[in-house]
Amino acid sequence: MLRLALASALSLIAVCVAVNQDFISSAEIDIADCPITFYGLKYDKVYVGFDSNTSAVCFNGQFGSGPNSDCILMSRGSADRGSLTTHDTHIPTGSGLHKLLANLKHEGECVNIIPLRDGQDSDVKQIELANFGAQAVVGIKTHSRFSDISFEAQTVVNGQSYVKELFQTNQTDRGVVTDVSGCRLFGAVYKTNTSVWNGHICSTVSCDQSGVASLVSSCKPMERCQGNNTCSLDATCTVTGSTIIDVIGRVHAVADRCGYKLMETQSVPDLQVLGVFSERRRKDVSFIQRVILRLKSSNVHVSLEQGGRVTLDDRMVQFNTSEQIVAGVKITKDSSGITAEVTATSGYAASVHFNGNTAHVRVTGPKPASVSGFCGNGSTTAAAEREAALSDSG
């Protein structure tokens, strides 16, 4: 836990603490005048609650009221087994509204003070929630009525214990300050000024001084993070009109009415995906007219055509059900188009989705792999991928 030299500045705030005879054992306090950015999430309310051992200061509802609590919990240290009379049990009404704006140098700096009292209505502790620009801190100060020799403070972020520390009262009577600035990304929390590897997203996440997170993934464009520190193959190519966007995002244009090899991979060795381009109305614009799955070992052609039709070696396939296996190719038809899928052993699979205008060719599998053809990640040319048998002569 980061302790800052702010402790003495914050302990000045003590003079502001209100004395009020009315008290409450739990409260929702509006801090909209001095909102706190707790590990990257800005809050304008504080919920204070107590049970016999713990006082909780939360930002998104009373502690335990939901699964994603953002809280600061204070419990008696395990060495303390004394009576509960000096333990904080309530706060005076009207708390949290003491903003020490005047003593702070800059715009955007403010402090909320929440006094906590014991059963005899004496102040035992105070919690100070402060913002210094992008930095947010929590200060804890105990008063002389606080007789336990230690207590444990714990920050809970997204319902998970994040930082836990045991404080000696001989430290906290002078005030201790903890940094609670940070960033959040995909449900995880990162401290300000850090760079951390997160295997769940296969990325290094950096949280800068302003609380802005950025990430650098170790998975390449053809890959997807498995959530366990491994990148698997997940490559997609899109063919729309006469444009091909290959598996690493490069754009190619098809200028003629020819057949091309779109995709081939060692991972699904029996399959070639071919695209046949044609002309529609305007003579100079070609478009993807059909997509053929060619099974190399048997030289069978399963063709996905306009209007949701499917042919097997030029014979129309009748669809009795929405899913059918045609020559080992699983074909599914629905309102979004036709999907054809070929599964290889060893967990690799290739699929083609075609709706008459756009084709998506996707290859998935456990490990990164090379993809060739017009859709592939190597360097190629239109001439190299042209399929003479599927092309108009001339």
Ligand X SMILES: *[C@@H]1O[C@H](CO)[C@@H](O)[C@H](O)[C@H]1NC(C)=O
The residues of the shown chain that bind ligand X, judged by CB under 6 A, are: 51-53, 135, 149, 168, 170, 181, 192-193, 209, 220, 222, 226, 228, 230, 318, 320, 324, 368-370, 377-378
Q: Which is nearer to ligand X, 94 or 347 (CB)?
A: 347
Cβ at position 210, least distance to ligand X in Å: 9
The distance of Cα 159 from the centroid of its chain, to the nearest Å, equals: 16
Please tell me the distance from the alpha carbon of residue 388 to that of residue 260, in angstroms, as a whole number.
8
Helical H segments across the chain, by residue range? 7-11, 169-172, 382-385
Within 77-122, strands assigned E span 91-92, 109-117
Of 115 and 211, the one with the shorter C-beta distance to ligand X is 211
Nearer to ligand X (CB atom), residue 247 or residue 359:
247
- Residue 287 CB, nearest approach to ligand X (Å): 28
By C-beta, is 295 or 312 nearer to ligand X?
Answer: 312
Bridge partners of 37, per DSSP, are 42
Taking the least distance from each CB to ligand X, the nearer of 176 and 258 is 176
CA 143 to chain CA centroid, nearest Å: 42
Q: How far apart are the C-alpha atoms of 358 and 210, rounded to whole Å?
A: 43
Closest CB 104 distance from ligand X, rounded Å: 16
Q: Which is nearer to ligand X, 201 or 288 (CB)?
A: 201
Is the Cβ of residue 202 or residue 292 nearer to ligand X in the bound state? 202
Q: Identify which of residues 33 and 51 has a Cβ nearer to ligand X in the complex.
A: 51
- The residue (of 51 and 334) whose beta carbon lies closer to ligand X is 51
* 116 contacts 125 by C-beta, under 8 angstroms: yes
45-83 in b/e form (b: 16+ CB < 10 A) is bbbbbbeeebbbbbbbbbbeeeeebbbbbbbbeeebeee
CB 260 within 8 A of CB 277: yes
Distance CA 91, CA 86 (A): 13
In angstroms, the CA 3 to CA 13 distance is 18
In the complex, minimum distance from the CB of residue 107 to ligand X, in angstroms, rounded to a whole number = 18
Helix extents (H) in 64-166: none
Q: How far is the CB of 286 from ligand X (least distance, A)?
A: 27
Instruction: Say if residues 269 and 344 touch (Cβ distance below 8 Å).
Output: yes
Q: Give the nearer residue to ligand X in terms of CB position, either 154 or 324.
A: 324
- DSSP E strand boundaries for 192-322: 194-198, 203-207, 213-217, 223-225, 231-240, 243-245, 251-253, 259-264, 271-280, 282-295, 300-304, 310-312, 315-316
| Closest separation in Å from C-beta 292 to ligand X | 20
Q: How far is the CB of 94 from ligand X (least distance, A)?
A: 28
| CB of 258 vs ligand X, minimal distance in Å | 24
Q: How far is the CB of 174 from ligand X (least distance, A)?
A: 9
| 3-state SS assignment for residue 242 | coil
Radius of gyration of the chain (CA): 32
Rounded to the nearest whole angstrom, what is the least distance from the CB of residue 45 to ligand X in the complex? 24
